[in-house]
Homo-oligomer: A and B are copies of this chain.
């Protein structure tokens, strides 16, 4: 699924461009302008909606809320100047490549 594999890169590029956009016409630019606490609140809100949606079996709702959460996570990363690819690389390092580093994520 080629388009999927490149989604994160495309999204990151768009989120970078939004740093130059007008907060009155761009939701992302308005988040950047409002600052990190507004973005943190959105992450908390969307995480709660994911917790609620995942408790039910409506697949579209789960996918939709998860997309909202990941989106605001990406906004936070770009706002902090962090390439989201680093998060995937960390996931890969801990888990994906070997499948044996599972404990690294255990709490």
| Chain A positions near chain B (C-beta within 8 angstroms) | 1, 3-11, 14, 17, 26-28, 36-37, 39-45, 47-52, 54-55, 57, 59, 62-64, 66-71, 73, 76-77, 80, 82, 85-92, 94-97, 99, 102-103, 105-107
Q: A70-B91, A88-B4, A91-B67 are in contact. Are A41 and B49 (CB under 8 A)?
A: yes
Instruction: Assess whether B48 is in contact with A40, with CB atoms less than 8 Å apart.
Output: yes
Instruction: Assess whether B87 is in contact with A45, with CB atoms less than 8 Å apart.
Output: no
Contact for A102 among B1, B28, B90, CB less than 8 A: B28
Instruction: Assess whether A40 is in contact with B52, with CB atoms less than 8 Å apart.
Output: yes
> What is the distance, in angstroms, from A85's C-beta to the closest C-beta of chain B?
5
Q: A37-B55, A90-B63 are in contact. Are A48 and B45 (CB under 8 A)?
A: yes
Beyond A67-B94, A69-B73, 19 additional pairs, beta carbon < 8 A: A3-B89, A3-B97, A4-B85, A4-B88, A4-B89, A7-B88, A11-B91, A27-B106, A28-B102, A37-B52, A37-B55, A40-B54, A44-B47, A47-B47, A48-B51, A54-B76, A68-B107, A70-B70, A71-B91
